[in-house]
Structure 1
Amino acid sequence: MPTVDPALAAEARAADPDAPLVAFYGDSYTLGTGASDPALRWSTTICADRGWTEFNPSVNGLGFVNNRASTPPDYLDSDEIPQIIARDPDIVFVTMGLNDNFSMPERADAIQNAIATDFTTLVAALPDARIIVVEPFWYTDDRPPSVQTVIDWVDREAAAIGADRVPDASQWLRGHPEWMAADGLHPDDQGYAEMARRMDAALRELGL
C-alpha cells in the first residue's frame, strides 16, 4: 500500500503550512483541459476562494482502469493514488469515472474492483483526511446507460467508506454546448466557471 512521505508532505505544505492541503484525484475535467489558463479550472478556483493549498496531479484520459500505468492495488509511483497519499492531504477530492465509460461493458468487473480498491486504499492510508467523492462528470446530452452504471458504482463505494458525496455533477454541463471548448470534449473558461460555482454550492452544503 502507498504510504505518506514526510519529505513530500512537507514540500506540499511549504507555501502555507497552516492552510489545508487539498488533493485532487481526477482526469482532464479536473486537470482543466480546455481552459485558457490552469488558474481558471474549477479546482483552482475553489481552492483560491477558500485559502486552500492545491495538489492536483490529474491526468488526461485517466479512469479507474482506463489509461492506468498500473492496476490497483499494485500501484506504480507515477499513479495518482501514491502521489496523493505521499503528501498526506487534509482533503481528497475524487472526480473519476468519465473515461471508464469507454471500456464498458467489457471491463465492468475490473472497473468495479478498481473503484473499491482505490477508495479503500485512500481511507486506509489517510484515515484523518476528509474524502469528497464527486459524481463522475459527463460531457454530452446523450448519456449511454454506462454513465449511470458507473455513477452507481462510485456512489456505492463512496458510501462504504463514509465519504462525503457531491451528487448530480454529471448534469452540470447538460444542455449548454456554449460552455464547451472548441474540441467539443472539454469545458471552456465559462464551463469551468459554472462547474466552480456549482461545486462551491455543493461544498457549502457540506460545511466547507
Structure 2
Amino acid sequence: MRPALSTGRGGQVLRPRPPAAPRRARSLAALALGLALAAAVGAWAGRLPPYAPPPPPDRFGGPLAPAPLVSRGRRVASRPPGGEVLVDGRYRTSAVWCGGHPTPAAPAWVAIEVGGGHDRLLLSFTSSGNHDWRDQVNGAPADYRIETSADSRDGADGHWRTAVSVTGNPVRARAHALDFHHQRWVRLVVTRLPEPMNPWGLFLDEIDVHDLSRGGTDGWVFLGDSITSTVFDRAPAHQPSFAEAVAARHPGYFPAMVSAGQGSLHHRDAPRLVDEVLALLPEARVVVLGFGSNDGDPAAFRADLVEAIRRVRAAGRIAIVPRIPFRPGSPVDYPARLNAVVDEVTATLGLLPGPDLYAWFRDHPEQLADGLHPDDRGAVEMSRLWAEAVAPLYPPAGAVAAR
C-alpha cells in the first residue's frame, strides 16, 4: 500500500523523503572513505617517510630540525682523481684531495652521487691545512660553483645546472644550501685559487652534504679565537667532535658545523666577525660566541658581547656564549672577571647557558697544552661539554625526530 501524500501551503504535494541514515552510520562511512583515501595516498607516496610538523619554538629557539648527513661513503668522481677521500669522515689529515691549480678553462671538480629523494641540500667543504677561518694559503678555493645533475651516469657526463656560484671566497670552510629536487649528483667545481697560494694548489679534506628536505635547522658555526680554531677542527685526535657527540646523544641528528676561529681575536673584533659569519653562512642557525681569552676589561667586553648577541638575534639566529676557560698561573684571573659578565648577560637576555669551560679546566689544568689551548683530551672534553650544554635545543632522549 502506498503511503498517503500530504499537502503543504497552497496545496503543493509533498512527497515523503527517504529515511535519513543514522548520524553514527554517516560518520563511520566518512571515516571509511577517509581511511581508503589515506591508503591510496600512502600507496602513491611509496617509501616517503612520515612527516610530523615541528613543534613551536621554545624559549631558547629549539628544538632544532634534523639535517641528516647523507654524503659519507657515497660514490665519488673527480678531476684530478682521488676525490673519494672527501667523503670518508676524516678531517685535518694528510689524506686530502689535491686539485692542483684550477682555471676557468681547466677547472678542478669533485662530484658526489647523493641519490634521489632529497629536495634541498647543504654542502660544506673544509680546507683544514689552514688553521684559522680566514687562512687560505694552504689550499682553499677562491672562485667556485656548485652544480647538480639528474641524469649523469658517472659524475662527468650528463646535463648539469648551476645551483650556487661564488667569486672571491675569503675563508677556508663554507656551507651552501641548494635546491636538489629530482636531482641525483652534486658537484663542486673550483675555477680559481686566491693569492698567495702554496706551490701545490688546491687541498680539500672533506665535503659534507646534509639533507634539508624536511626543513633542517641543525647548523652551527663556532665563532671564536685560537681556542676555537684548535678544538673544532675535527682532527682524528679531537674525535668525537661536537657533531659526533650530538649524534650519539640524539639519534637522527648530525649537526652541520663550521669552525670560524680566528687567532688573537679580541672582543672589539667580534661584532665585525659576526657580520661576516652571518653573511657567509646564512644556514647556520646557532652562532657560538667563544671569545674573551684575549681580553681583560669587563665593561668593554660586555658592550661588545651584547652587540654581537644583538646582531645574531636580529638575523633570526640563536646565540650561545660559553664561560671562558680557566688559565692556570695567571697573576690576575681575568676569565673569572669576564665570566661574571657572561653569566649576567646570559641571564638578562634569556640565552641558553653555554658550557662551563672555566670550571672544567680549573679542575683539569693538565688538559691545557700551554696553559691556554686545550690538548687533544681537553678538546674532546670541550666537545662533550658543548653537547651536554645544548641538549635543550634537541628533542628529549627517546623522542623521535620529526622527519
Give the C-alpha shift of residue 142 in structure 1: 5.1
The answer to whether the Cα contact below 8 Å between 1:95 and 1:133 also exists between their aligned partners in 2 is yes
The answer to whether the Cα contact below 8 Å between 1:95 and 1:137 also exists between their aligned partners in 2 is no
2:390 counterpart SS class:
helix
Q: Against the structure 1 CA distance between its residues 167 and 189, is the aligned structure 2 distance closer, same or farther, given a 3 Å change threshold?
A: closer
Normalised by the length of structure 1, the TM-score is 0.71
1: CA distance between counterparts of 2:314 and 2:393?
A: 24
Tell me, yes or no, if structure 1 residue 81 matches structure 2 residue 274. yes
Give 4+ residue runs of structure 1 displaced > 6 Å after superposition. Answer: none
Normalised by the length of structure 2, the TM-score is 0.40
2: CA distance between counterparts of 1:7 and 1:55?
A: 20
Q: Against the structure 1 CA distance between its residues 40 and 162, is the aligned structure 2 distance closer, same or farther, given a 3 Å change threshold?
A: farther
The answer to whether the Cα contact below 8 Å between 1:119 and 1:161 also exists between their aligned partners in 2 is no
2:361 counterpart SS class:
coil
Aligned-residue CA RMSD in angstroms?
3.1
2: CA distance between counterparts of 1:173 and 1:7?
A: 43
Aligned to 1:189: 376
Percent of counterpart pairs with the same letter?
Answer: 23
1: CA distance between counterparts of 2:329 and 2:322?
A: 19
Q: Match for 1:85: what amino acid?
A: L
Aligned to 1:123: 313
Q: How does 1:58-69 map to 2 (within 5 A)?
A: 58-65=261-268, 68=269
Give the C-alpha shift of residue 149 in structure 1: 2.2
Aligned to 1:132: 320
Aligned to 1:150: 338
The answer to whether the Cα contact below 8 Å between 1:119 and 1:158 also exists between their aligned partners in 2 is no
Give the C-alpha shift of residue 143 in structure 1: 7.2
Residues 153-204 of structure 1: per-residue CA shift (max 9 Å, x gap): 22222334332112522121124343222x3431111111222222222233
Q: How does 1:3-82 map to 2 (within 5 A)?
A: 11-13=175-177, 15-18=209-212, 20-32=218-230, 38-41=235-238, 45-49=241-245, 50=247, 51-65=254-268, 68=269, 72=271, 75=272, 80-82=273-275
1: CA distance between counterparts of 2:371 and 2:335?
A: 18
Gaps of at least 5 residues in structure 1 are 1-5
The answer to whether the Cα contact below 8 Å between 1:141 and 1:174 also exists between their aligned partners in 2 is no
Give the C-alpha shift of residue 31 in structure 1: 1.2
Determine which structure has greater relative contact order: mean sequence separation of CA pairs < 8 Å that are 6+ residues apart, divided by chain length. Answer: 1
Aligned to 1:176: 364
Structure with the higher helix share, 1 or 2: 1
Residues 44-90 of structure 1: per-residue CA shift (max 9 Å, x gap): 8112343111121111221213xx3xx84xx3xxxx21232122211
The answer to whether the Cα contact below 8 Å between 1:31 and 1:41 also exists between their aligned partners in 2 is no
Q: Against the structure 1 CA distance between its residues 173 and 151, is the aligned structure 2 distance closer, same or farther, given a 3 Å change threshold?
A: same
Aligned to 1:92: 287
